[in-house]
């Protein structure tokens, strides 16, 4: 075998003056040790070479080595050649199982003469080279200098088991004196607490110098520490010192203690805690304790146990009697009570009484509280929805007449109970009617209760500038947990700058986001490394929208939406809109009725009323602020953000985002397959298999279909797009196309991509015919189709707040609760329509 010159030189230096030395006695091969396999089978030697052939049959060494290890390594060296050979074995530590010249040399054995067909044990006491702490592989190499010509040079290396290099010294021992319990002739014992299984060396005098007067070994302990009481052979020294050594020879620092002069049997005074400061984490809690105790005494801090067993941490008071301790404990469940106990122990091992320090209660999650003070049920009160503890413990939402107090998003309100209606809009008499309201007394104003685009609202000088609750910055700040939203906004906008993979499909980058939107904004903010200046945010409010028709009892009361237009650097409107779509918090029938009544009261007030915008802000705060929906990131009620633009590239494209702990992340567009499936056999198969559900608008579009990625990662919208497939039912085709994002915003509804248009300052946004009402020609059958989505939404809200509309021939006074569809009334929005 051949090795590099630097290794051969190193080995030669190591071998200078080496003689064959036994370990610890020369092995007796007439009486072989355990593991000895005997001579090699002579029927299978290497033949015809007249050369030795060294091979290592086994390798053994310590599993852990340290800076002062005295361990031996050994290997079984065999000669498979046909003549006697003489060589040595080198031992290494390697980061992998390839033993090579870059590995760390541990030791080299004495030279061994091995007859052909025989084995000998090679051994050496290791000397740890300069290595980092960590895991290594023990390796060995026969004939390391390559000085012997062998039949084969390829079988000299062998790797063994893992060996950990431990360079961490144990902590310095803790020392104290244990006074005898009997007569005065007894001597005090030196009590040493150190790392379990450590070897202790006790010296007379400070500094751990000279010959030790006593050596002892500690036992093991599950805590990792142990202690022993020692009777010293002499007490003539004025002080003593102790150093501990772990199993691989790493040495601790030296601890000193004065010799006992007086038998002290007086316990120290109990310590006093001056301050206990807790920091709470998800898996651990950190405690910082300061206090006072007898000077130089040892103070033990215990958690949840009254000074029994080993303390969570021990510290020593200084010469003035003050101490500081920092420790971590495992986190406990929200609302659980934890206790802190302390005790002191002086140098004579006298212990103070146990003192209970301050208790603490693990904080409740955002939106919850322990209002009954019972740790057994933890944080039992949902402050966002509990009418007895609304916002804070004990804040009860009162009834008003026959209207029931309801808590939604930590705000009190009132809702009509089952079978009662507020037909006259007079809060003084509550829900005065036990019959559904007639059409004359229940009129829904679309522009004040459903889609509010009035300039008096979207350009309100108090609420829409930066700092106002309807400004883009305020909504983003709430999503960021009331922190500066610059990082959140940048991360979101920069998703357009790189390709995004969603549902296994790749959405190409649209880098003009950087040149047209984010880049100019960063320029006026001082650069890409500075916080964004939200006074120049390129977003203008277009509308505030009520989507209670998206309610899901048991989940949410519907959605509230803010629609923004994106602006160019000069403030001009771009072909780009953004919709923030929030859940309306509250899943009970009462909460749903409260939301419906509050939206309807806007229409009863009217835009010109001085309280209209104050009422609207109180309503929007319940779904835009942080903390209104516990359990979501920052308690945000945001369901999703959707965008619609052609400004950044062609064709038009819609994207969807959800809020996570790591920011706004792109997600699939709902009910919309990837554009590549349009007019395909695969889409036809899906429509035929789900025809009845599609016509009834009670279906979903799965992420995969027939083994293919199906649900779109984004919705691309070529001009006049509508969805179709070969040989499908025409009504199913229409319903499917209508319920896609792209079909609804294009050819299926005759929409030029935006249902709420972007606008210049001082101009009001316009609504599409699909929303405001109009007749559109079916792109396939050419038959006229009527759309009036706001009319449908108005009817839905009227049903909620006023009862089911009269059937033909019935008057409002003829309607009782038994004639209703349910409570709350189910939405008239088909389940498969999410626009």
Residue by residue, DSSP assigns 674-724 as: -GGGTT-HHHHHHHHHTHHHHHTT-----SEETTEE-B-SSEEE-TT----
Compute the distance between CA of residue 34 and CA of residue 54 in angstroms, rounded to an integer: 22
pTM (whole model) above 0.75: no
DSSP letter string over 731-777?
HHHHHHHHTSHHHHTTTTTT--S-SB----TT-PPPB-HHHH-EEEE
Tell me phi and psi for residue 202, to 5 degrees.
-105, 130
User: What is the mean pLDDT for each group of 10 consecutive residues in the chain (835 residues)?
Assistant: 34 34 38 42 53 93 85 93 94 88 86 94 88 90 91 90 89 82 61 87 91 86 74 77 89 88 75 83 80 92 88 91 89 77 85 86 82 81 93 92 89 86 79 81 92 98 97 98 96 97 97 97 96 98 97 94 97 97 94 93 94 97 95 94 97 97 95 97 97 95 96 96 97 96 95 96 97 95 96 93 58 40 78 77
**How many other β-carbons are positioned within 10 Å of the β-carbon of residue 21?**
12
Q: What b-and-e string marks burial along 688-697, b requiring 16 or more CB atoms within 10 Å of the CB? A: eebbeebbee
Instruction: Give Cβ neighbours of residue 525 (< 8 Å, ≥ 6 apart).
Output: 531, 532, 533, 536
For residues 52 and 81, is the Cβ–Cβ distance under 8 A? yes
Compute the distance between CA of residue 723 and CA of residue 742 in angstroms, rounded to an integer: 9
Compute the distance between CA of residue 107 and CA of residue 89 in angstroms, rounded to an integer: 9
Compute the distance between CA of residue 761 and CA of residue 455 in angstroms, rounded to an integer: 9
For residues 735 and 697, is the Cβ–Cβ distance under 8 A? yes
Compute the distance between CA of residue 73 and CA of residue 23 in angstroms, rounded to an integer: 10
Compute the distance between CA of residue 86 and CA of residue 79 in angstroms, rounded to an integer: 10
Residue 34 confidence (pLDDT): 44
Q: Which two tokens stand for residue 375?
A: 């740790």
Compute the distance between CA of residue 666 and CA of residue 643 in angstroms, rounded to an integer: 11
Instruction: Give Cβ neighbours of residue 35 (< 8 Å, ≥ 6 apart).
Output: 58, 76
3-state secondary structure at position 124: strand
CA-based torsion, 648, 650, 655, 661: positive or negative:
negative
Q: Which two tokens stand for residue 32?
A: 């072989």
> CB-based burial of residue 744 (10 Å sphere; 0-12 exposed, 13-18 middle, 19+ buried)?
buried
From the list 800, 790, 797, the residue with the least C-alpha distance to 820 is 800
Instruction: Give Cβ neighbours of residue 725 (< 8 Å, ≥ 6 apart).
Output: 678, 679, 680, 681, 683, 684, 686, 687, 733
Q: For 67, what's the count of Cα atoms within 13 Å in the CB-facing half-sphere?
A: 12
Residue with tokens 């003056």: 17
Q: Which two tokens stand for residue 434?
A: 């036990």
Q: What DSSP designation does 376 have?
A: G
CATH T-level fold of 272-361: Immunoglobulin-like (2.60.40)
CATH architecture entry for 174-258: Sandwich (2.60)
Compute the distance between CA of residue 557 and CA of residue 555 in angstroms, rounded to an integer: 7
DSSP letter string over 213-262?
SEEEE----TTSEEEEEE--S---SSEEEEEEE-TT--B---EEEEPP-S
Instruction: Give Cβ neighbours of residue 341 (< 8 Å, ≥ 6 apart).
Output: 301, 302, 303, 305, 306, 307, 354, 355, 356, 357
For residues 659 and 481, is the Cβ–Cβ distance under 8 A? no
Beta bridge partners of 135: 164
Compute the distance between CA of residue 569 and CA of residue 516 in angstroms, rounded to an integer: 7
Give CA 70 to chain center in angstroms: 46
Q: What DSSP designation does 514 have?
A: I
Q: What DSSP designation does 821 have?
A: S
For residues 518 and 493, is the Cβ–Cβ distance under 8 A? yes
3-state helix, strand, coil in the chain (%, to 5): 20, 30, 50
Residue with tokens 């939106």: 367
Instruction: Give Cβ neighbours of residue 553 (< 8 Å, ≥ 6 apart).
Output: 587, 588, 589, 592, 824
Q: What DSSP designation does 517 have?
A: I
From the list 60, 64, 59, the residue with the least C-alpha distance to 165 is 64
**How many other β-carbons are positioned within 10 Å of the β-carbon of residue 677?**
22
Residue 373 confidence (pLDDT): 79
Compute the distance between CA of residue 334 and CA of residue 375 in angstroms, rounded to an integer: 9
Q: Which two tokens stand for residue 135?
A: 């895991």
Q: Where in the chain is the domain with CATH 2.60.40.10?
A: 5-165, 174-258, 272-361
Pairing state between β 104-108 and 89-94: antiparallel
Compute the distance between CA of residue 509 and CA of residue 495 in angstroms, rounded to an integer: 8
Segment (H or E) for 638: strand 638-645
From the list 785, 771, 772, the residue with the least C-alpha distance to 733 is 785
Query: What are the Cα distances from residue 403, in Å, to 32, 406, 418, 584?
Result: 97, 9, 10, 20
3-state secondary structure at position 720: coil
* Superfamily, domain 5-165: Immunoglobulins (2.60.40.10)
Q: Which two tokens stand for residue 304?
A: 């949840």
Query: What are the Cα distances from residue 354, in Å, to 177, 242, 345?
Result: 20, 29, 11
3-state secondary structure at position 673: strand
For residues 799 and 551, is the Cβ–Cβ distance under 8 A? no
From the list 736, 734, 726, the residue with the least C-alpha distance to 781 is 734
For residues 585 and 402, is the Cβ–Cβ distance under 8 A? no
Query: What are the Cα distances from residue 493, in Å, to 72, 308, 497, 498, 657?
Result: 63, 57, 8, 10, 11
CA-based torsion, 150, 152, 156, 160: positive or negative:
negative
CB-based contacts of 429-435 (< 8 A; 24+ apart in sequence): 429/401, 430/400, 430/401, 430/402, 430/403, 431/401, 431/402, 431/403, 432/401, 432/402, 434/816, 434/817, 435/803, 435/812, 435/813, 435/814, 435/815, 435/816
Residue with tokens 């249902």: 755
């Amino acid at each position: 075998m051949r090795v590099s010159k630097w290794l051969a030189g190193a080995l030669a230096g190591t071998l200078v003056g080496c003689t064959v030395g036994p370990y610890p006695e020369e092995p007796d091969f007439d009486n072989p040790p355990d593991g000895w396999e005997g001579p090699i089978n002579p029927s299978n030697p290497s033949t015809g070479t007249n050369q030795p052939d060294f091979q290592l049959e086994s390798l053994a060494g310590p599993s852990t080595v340290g800076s002062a290890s005295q361990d031996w390594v050994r290997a079984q060296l065999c000669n498979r050649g046909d003549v006697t050979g003489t060589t040595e074995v080198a031992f290494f530590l390697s980061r992998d199982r390839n033993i090579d010249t870059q590995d760390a040399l541990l030791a080299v054995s004495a030279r061994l003469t091995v007859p052909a067909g025989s084995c000998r044990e090679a051994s050496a006491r290791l000397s740890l080279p300069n290595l980092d702490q960590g895991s290594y592989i023990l390796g060995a190499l026969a004939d390391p200098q390559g000085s012997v010509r062998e039949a084969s040079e390829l079988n000299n290396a062998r790797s063994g088991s893992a060996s950990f290099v431990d360079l961490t010294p144990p902590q310095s021992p803790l020392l104290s004196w244990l006074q005898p319990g009997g007569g005065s002739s007894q001597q005090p014992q030196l009590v040493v607490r150190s790392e379990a299984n450590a070897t202790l060396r006790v010296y007379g005098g400070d500094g751990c110098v000279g010959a030790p007067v006593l050596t002892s070994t500690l036992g093991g302990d599950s805590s990792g520490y142990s202690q022993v009481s020692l009777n010293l052979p002499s007490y003539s020294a004025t002080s003593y010192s102790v150093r501990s050594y772990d199993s691989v020879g790493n040495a601790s620092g030296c601890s000193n203690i004065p010799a006992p002069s007086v038998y002290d049997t007086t316990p120290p005074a109990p310590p006093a805690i001056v301050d206990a400061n807790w920091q709470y984490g998800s898996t651990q809690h950190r405690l910082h304790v300061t206090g006072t105790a007898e000077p130089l005494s040892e103070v033990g801090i215990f958690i949840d146990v009254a000074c029994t067993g080993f303390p969570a941490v021990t510290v020593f008071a200084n010469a003035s009697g003050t101490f500081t301790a920092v420790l971590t404990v495992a986190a406990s469940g929200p609302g659980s009570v934890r206790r802190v106990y302390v005790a002191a122990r002086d140098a004579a091992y006298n212990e103070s009484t146990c003192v209970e320090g301050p208790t603490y209660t693990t904080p409740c999650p955002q939106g919850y509280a322990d209002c009954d003070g019972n740790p057994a049920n933890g944080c039992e009160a949902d402050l966002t929805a509990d009418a007895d503890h609304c916002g804070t413990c004990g804040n009860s939402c009162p009834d008003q007449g026959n209207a029931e107090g309801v808590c939604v998003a930590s705000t009190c309100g009132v809702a009509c109970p089952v079978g009662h209606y507020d037909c006259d809009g007079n809060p003084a008499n509550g829900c005065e009617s036990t019959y559904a309201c007639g059409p004359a007394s229940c009129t829904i104003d679309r522009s004040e209760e459903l889609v509010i685009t009035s300039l008096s609202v979207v350009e309100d000088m108090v609420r829409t500038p930066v700092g106002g609750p309807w400004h883009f910055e305020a909504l983003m700040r709430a999503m960021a947990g009331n922190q500066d939203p610059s990082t959140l906004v940048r991360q979101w906008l920069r998703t357009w700058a790189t390709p995004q993979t969603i549902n296994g499909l790749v959405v190409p980058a649209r880098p003009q986001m950087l040149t047209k939107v984010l880049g100019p904004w960063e320029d006026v903010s001082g650069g890409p490394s500075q916080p964004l200046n939200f006074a120049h945010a390129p977003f203008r409010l277009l509308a505030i929208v009520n989507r209670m028709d998206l309610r899901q009892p048991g989940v949410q009361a519907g959605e509230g939406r803010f629609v923004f237009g994106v602006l160019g650097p000069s403030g001009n409107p771009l072909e780009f809109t953004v919709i923030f779509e929030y859940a309306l918090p509250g899943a009970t029938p009462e909460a749903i009725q409260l939301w419906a009544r509050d939206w309807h009261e806007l229409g009863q007030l009217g835009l010109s009323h001085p309280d209209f915008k104050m009422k609207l802000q109180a309503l929007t705060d319940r779904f835009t602020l942080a903390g209104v929906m516990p359990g979501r990131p920052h308690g945000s009620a945001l369901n999703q953000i959707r965008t619609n633009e052609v400004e950044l590239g062609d064709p038009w494209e819609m994207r969807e985002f959800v809020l996570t702990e790591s920011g706004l992340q792109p997600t699939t567009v709902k009910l919309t397959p990837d554009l590549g499936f349009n007019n395909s056999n695969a889409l036809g198969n899906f429509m035929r298999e789900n025809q009845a559900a599609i016509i009834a608008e009670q279906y979903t579009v799965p992420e995969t279909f027939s083994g293919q990625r199906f649900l779109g990662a984004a919705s691309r919208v070529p001009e006049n797009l509508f969805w179709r497939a070969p040989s499908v039912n025409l009504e199913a085709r229409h319903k499917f196309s209508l319920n896609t994002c792209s079909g609804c915003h294009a050819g299926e509804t005759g929409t030029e991509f935006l249902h709420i248009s972007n606008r210049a300052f001082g101009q009001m946004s316009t609504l599409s015919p699909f929303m405001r009402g109009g007749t559109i020609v079916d792109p396939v059958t050419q038959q006229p189709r009527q759309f009036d989505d706001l009319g449908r939404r108005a009817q839905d809200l009227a049903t909620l707040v006023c009862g089911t509309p009269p059937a033909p021939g019935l008057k409002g006074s003829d309607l009782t609760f038994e004639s209703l569809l349910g409570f709350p009334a189910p939405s008239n929005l088909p389940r498969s329509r999410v626009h």
